[in-house]
Amino acid sequence: MTQGSSHSSAARPPHRVVVIVDEGTNPFEVGVATEVFGLPRPELGLPGALYGIELCTPRPDIRMNHGFFTLTGVPGLDAADTADTLIMPGRPGNTVPRAPDVLAALRRAHARGARILSFCTGAFALAESGILDGRRAATHWQWADSFRELFPAVQLERDVLFVDDGDILTAAGSAAALDLSLHIVRKDFGAEVANSVSRRLVFAAHRDGGQRQFIERPVPAVPDESLAPVLAWAQERLGEPVTVTGLAARAGVSPATLHRRFRAQLGTTPLAWLTSERVALACRLIERGEERLDVVAHRSGLGTAANLRARLRRETGLSPSGYRRRFGPGAPPPAGRIPAAATARTP
């Protein structure tokens, strides 16, 4: 079966996403790519999808993970040579070398400047091709020791959801593939569009890549220790002087206990979560047309224009004016916003 989707734009054709489906590929991760990048987006008022997407395979018949089904009728690896973004999903048997033609396709894509993503253990293929040497990367925590032993030249970040290293981005697991995919949408189209896509997925709009990938979830004690009420309360008051101490008071616990709950349930700290939510709100305000930086900083709770500039550049790689040009009112239509490839690495 051939996969394809697009929407019209006078600026340029849709950014082309190609997924390499190799022997034993995890179907869920292929589904993540097609769901986020391939489906039409009527909720955004678009007649088609944000991206054009296609699958490709190294052989005419590909057995998926555990032989659940066989994929046929999909274009060959030549399709990868025209990808703006190339995705390598994971598979079991990570210590078994990949086929040379798959590795060659990854090297060619990297050499011509395509953006390359891996989901879960797909990072093994990227590392085997050599394009991860000296680069930061993530993979599933269960395979971290094997990865480090096989690829000592790669800077593996063991306990994160995903790593954005500019033109190469790696997700730690199958669910983290959704986080990384929404991160890509956010970079390409802005926070408002990413939030709309996440709402359709009924998925968290923004989990920072630095959050822990493996979180212990014991059976909750009584009373319920869920953070949901305090998170909802804080999200309605981001422009107010809400602090970690204030969050703890609202939750009826000490700051230390709140910190432990954030680490256990969200994989991040209260301050990091609060800052991330405020930056996301600032992005939405800019996208909706607010040009006064002091107003954006005040309404988002970031305080000063200087802090807004620093936080926005750290989160998006763009200054407020650069973000406004790319995502604000009057910006080019969606298909024209996406660069052919990311070139600057995220620090």
Q: Are 4 and 53 in contact (CB under 8 A)?
A: yes
- Would you state the structure tokens that stand for residue 214, as one six-digit string? 């493996």
Query: What mean pLDDT comes out for the span 219-243?
Result: 77
Each residue of 249-269: pLDDT tens digit?
Answer: 998 899 999 999 888 888 789
Each residue of 307-337: pLDDT tens digit?
Answer: 999 999 988 888 999 988 888 887 765 544 4
pLDDT attached to residue 328: 84
Each residue of 140-154: pLDDT tens digit?
Answer: 989 999 999 999 999
Any idea which of 51-55, 118-122, 289-293, 327-331 has the lowest mean pLDDT? 327-331
pLDDT confidence band for 199 (50 / 70 / 90)? confident
16-201 carries CATH number 3.40.50.880: yes
Name beta bridge partners: 19: 55, 87
- For residues 267-306, one letter each, b for 16 or more C-beta atoms within 10 angstroms of the residue's C-beta and e for the rest, the string is bbebeebbbbbbbbbbbbbbbeebeebeebbebbbbeebe
Name the average pLDDT for the chain: 84
Q: Who wins on pLDDT, 232 or 127?
A: 127
pLDDT attached to residue 192: 85
Go through the chain and tell me how many residues it has.
347
Q: Where are the alpha helices (DSSP H) in 7-121?
A: 27-38, 100-111
For residue 6, pLDDT beyond 60: no
Each residue of 30-89: pLDDT tens digit?
Answer: 999 999 998 888 878 777 888 999 999 999 999 998 888 999 999 999 999 999 999 999
pLDDT attached to residue 264: 83
Any idea which of 185-194, 291-300, 328-337 has the lowest mean pLDDT? 328-337
For residue 8, pLDDT beyond 80: no
Where do the domains of the chain lie?
16-201, 219-329
Nearest 5°: CA angle at 256, between 255 and 258?
A: 65
Could you please report the per-residue DSSP string of 43-75? GGT-SSBSSEEEEE-SSSEEE-GGGS-EEES--
Fold of 219-329: Arc Repressor Mutant, subunit A (1.10.10)
